[in-house]
Amino acid sequence: MIKAGIVGGTGYTGVELLRLLAAHPEVKLEVITSRSEEGMPVAEMYPNLRGHVELCFSVPDMAVLKACDVVFFATPNGIAMTMAAELLDAGVKVIDLAADFRLQDAQEWAAWYGQPHACPELISEAVYGLPEVNREAIRTASLVANPGCYPTAVQLGLLPLIENGLVETANLIADAKSGVSGAGRKATVATLLGEASENFKAYAVSGHRHLPEIRQGLQQATAEKIGLTFVPHLTPMIRGIHATCYAVLKSAKVDLQAVFETRYADEPFVDVLPSGSHPETRSVRGANTCRIAIHRPQDGNTVVVLSVIDNLVKGAAGQAVHNMNIMFDFVEDYGLQGIPLIP
């Protein structure tokens, strides 16, 4: 049994972490922090946790956090990098669900996130927490950078093609749609019911913060230069990401279904659907699963990969728990065995 703490527990990823960790057979929830909600019972804010989580929100106390075996940061960008070093020095493993350690170049991080990186010396120590790629590095890591939601769906959709040298990498396209919870729990006009409901729109077409993360992950799989057009969209649903990825095949003489089935045969949280399938976001709602389908329209030279995840689970909290399981040598699906919710 390990002791876990969560810094920043009032957002959607924080409560999703609580939901998953409360049911984990090897975890004792030790502390959940929030400066603004200090003293409030967690179950008062999130009644779904009543009877499962008895903690109250508290202000971050480094002494309490240092007594944990693992600390999750479900905070805005820029917070974990100010606290991680002290926790690591105390022997605490750190999993950051924000973007502080995802990019390997501190200057590139500063350019995309609008502030200087507070501890660039830790960037090289951080392991990018996509288990399907970095499982062995995660196993011995002390600091894990949990991937973003869009990057998870897009990378899992494109990596088998790139790893096997099957596609032209200079003009990849990822057209991705996300539910409103991807914007977080903060109050903004764009996510009001009257604004987001019955509406569909693209955003950040000129450049989204997840673009360099996706590009970095894909580039590590090939010596060829990666060129990626990534366009995110906001959809009128709460949970879910649907990524439609396009690439041009170098040769039509390849069994794409077999390539994907072989690549993910031993991955507990990637489900390659039968040929011709169309995965739905509702099929992964509440589960740490990525479902993938591969198409080649009109038997042409363009491959279309459909990839769906729940942005709060496989795209955030569930993947963080998966990383924790690997880091502490637990069974990989502990706490992640829930069946998706339909309807």
- Residues taking part in catalysis: 149
The answer to whether the beta carbons of residues 319 and 151 sit under 8 Å apart is: no
Show Cβ contacts of residue 206 under 8 Å, excluding neighbours closer than 6 positions.
none
- Cα(218)–Cα(215) distance, rounded to whole angstroms? 5
Cβ–Cβ under 8 Å, residues 157 and 245: yes
